[in-house]
């Protein structure tokens, strides 16, 4: 496989980021009735479809759950950033290997927005991972069956587990969703890689067990902390709105 030229890589990444910025601006407009939409991004980077999208976004502000659009857009943007920046991995200094946190936005989306928001963000995660892998000549993750369906299912599982576990308390539900989402990501991606002939079963089992406990622990703690931050922001915004009315 021939490598894509660096300039082409940069152009594609820039375009992908532009699309995600447009999506985020659209979601903020829908969620907050355009008061927080970064209009400068639209005027300085004016893709026609983006302007049309933003013009129609205010009609969604009457939705009973407009914040779901904001959650989906923001976490999709974070997922793309983690994929292309390389910050979705924590290097372990003792072994030189790493654990992944790149799936956390998908899990968080399922927790905060429900299964369909988790599926959307998981789809963005899978697509961005495919693009990045294709540019980097990593055949296993450039395969649509390895990268896309498992990541969509991660969001579905996280949302379903959270909704079914919340009766035992939100903190317990968040931890259960984080563990289930991480397990789903590991098992499905490696199983797809074995099925498609990229890994042997022995290699997949070795990869899965090497840092699984540490990866699950990081995912659980990180997801819980991020959920607490989001709830605090919701409370703060609610107080601000009450003060304005």
Query: Given this model, what pLDDT does residue 38 score?
Result: 40
Phi, psi of 99 (to 5 degrees): -120, 150
Q: Which domain holds residue 3?
A: 1-64
Residue 68 near residue 40 (C-beta atoms within 8 A)? no
Q: How far apart are CA 221 and CA 8, in angstroms?
A: 38
pTM value?
A: 0.73
Distance, C-alpha 242 to centroid of its chain: 31
> Dihedral sign, CA of 201, 204, 208, 210?
positive
pLDDT, tens digit, 9 for 90 and up, residues 114-166: 999 999 999 999 999 999 999 888 899 999 999 999 999 999 999 999 999 99
Q: How far apart are CA 107 and CA 162, in angstroms?
A: 10
Are residues 102 and 221 located together in one domain of the fold?
A: yes
Are residues 25 and 126 located together in one domain of the fold?
A: no
Query: Given this model, what pLDDT does residue 8 score?
Result: 55
In the numeric block, which tokens belong to residue 32? 């907050």
Are residues 111 and 220 located together in one domain of the fold?
A: yes
| Residue 162 domain flag | yes
> Dihedral sign, CA of 193, 198, 200, 205?
negative
| Residue 73 domain flag | no
At what angle are helices 6-32 and 115-135 packed, to 10 degrees? 170
| Residue 77 domain flag | no
Dihedral angle, C-alpha 212, 218, 221, 226, nearest 10 °: -130
What is the CATH number for 150? 1.10.1760.20
pLDDT, tens digit, 9 for 90 and up, residues 79-91: 999 999 888 887 7
Are residues 60 and 156 located together in one domain of the fold?
A: no
Residue 37 near residue 25 (C-beta atoms within 8 A)? yes
Are residues 101 and 20 located together in one domain of the fold?
A: no
Residue 33 pLDDT more than 50?
no
């Amino acid at each position: 496989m021939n490598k894509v030229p660096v300039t082409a890589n940069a152009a594609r990444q820039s375009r992908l980021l532009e699309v995600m910025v447009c999506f985020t601006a659209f979601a903020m407009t829908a969620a907050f009735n355009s008061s927080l939409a970064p209009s400068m991004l639209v005027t300085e980077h004016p893709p026609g479809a983006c302007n049309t999208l933003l013009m129609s976004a205010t009609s969604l502000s009457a939705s009973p759950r407009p914040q779901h659009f904001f959650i989906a857009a923001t976490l999709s943007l974070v997922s793309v950033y983690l994929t292309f920046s390389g910050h979705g991995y924590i290097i372990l200094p003792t072994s030189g290997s790493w654990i992944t946190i790149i799936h956390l936005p998908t899990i968080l989306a399922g927790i905060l927005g429900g299964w369909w928001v988790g599926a959307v963000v998981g789809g963005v995660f899978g697509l961005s991972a495919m693009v990045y892998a294709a540019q980097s000549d990593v055949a296993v993750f450039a395969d649509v069956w390895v990268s896309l369906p498992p990541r969509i299912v991660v969001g579905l599982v996280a949302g379903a587990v959270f909704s079914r576990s919340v009766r035992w308390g939100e903190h317990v539900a968040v931890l259960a969703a984080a563990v289930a989402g991480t397990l789903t990501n590991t098992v499905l991606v490696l199983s797809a890689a074995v099925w498609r002939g990229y890994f042997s079963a022995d290699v997949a089992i070795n990869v899965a067990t090497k840092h699984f406990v540490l990866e699950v622990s990081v995912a659980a703690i990180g997801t819980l902390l991020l959920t607490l931050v989001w709830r605090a922001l919701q409370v703060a915004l609610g107080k601000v709105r009450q003060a304005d009315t």
